[in-house]
Amino acid sequence: MSAFPQQRYISEQDYLTLEAQSDSKHEYVEGDCYAMAGAGEKHNRIALNIAIVLRIAARGGSCGVFVSDMKCRVEQGRFYYYPDVMLVCNKADNAEFYKEQPCFIAEVQSTGTERIDRHEKWLVYSKMPSLRYYLLVDSLQMKAEYFMRDQAGAWQGGILEHEQTLTIACDDYHVALTPADIYEDVLF
């Protein structure tokens, strides 16, 4: 049972306290809390596939790879989301239960999450100075869309096609991610 009260506004500190005691996860959006639904097999395989590729490249380095149980704190605590996969390469970003400076975020989309991932979260995430890559991965078909920040700081987007590679470079960290990596062992 959730520990969250049925009130309209909750403070950031109350959210963090209640979230630590809750048996389910909630995202925090400017004082409102939203319960998160569970994910299916395809969603889990896709997120794990991305995390494995990122984690193998991160071994022995200063970057950390986090999956859906790590919160991302945005805009000084106005928002807390649980990205499906997050890469953090700043050692100073060392809070135990959330990260604030990811350089890569991936969200695996379903019919129920696509609008939020593509609009609400993207608008919030795109303002994070540390974020360089945002990957939206469809769990219903082989389709991955990416946004990456160019040298001038502007966001450029595209579709990751079958033979393409998305090269993720954050500080000393470099890895190549392909649709084959993302969708390995996922059956449609």
pLDDT in tens, 31-64: 999 988 878 899 999 999 999 999 999 999 999 9
Ramachandran sector of residue 104 (left: φ over 0; alpha: ψ -120 to 50; beta: rest): beta
The pLDDT assigned to 6 comes to 55
- Please name the residues in contact with 141: beta carbons below 8 A apart, sequence gap of 6 or more: 188
Q: Which domains does the chain have, with CATH numbers?
A: 1-36 (no CATH), 39-182 (3.90.1570.10)
Q: Give the pLDDT of residue 171.
A: 87
Per-residue pLDDT, 39: 84
> Between the CA of residue 137 and those of 73, 131, 144, 158, 178, what are the distances in Å?
22, 17, 4, 12, 12
Spell out the long-range contacts of 5-13 with Cβ–Cβ below 8 A and sequence spacing 24 or more: 8/32, 12/77, 12/78, 12/80
Low-confidence ranges of the chain (pLDDT < 70): 1-7
pTM, two decimal places: 0.93
- Separation CA 170–CA 103 (nearest Å): 6
Rounded to whole angstroms, the Cα distance separating 162 from 148 reads: 18
Question: CB of 150 within 8 A of CB of 156?
Answer: yes
Residue 57: CB partners within 8 Å, gap ≥ 6?
A: 173, 174, 175
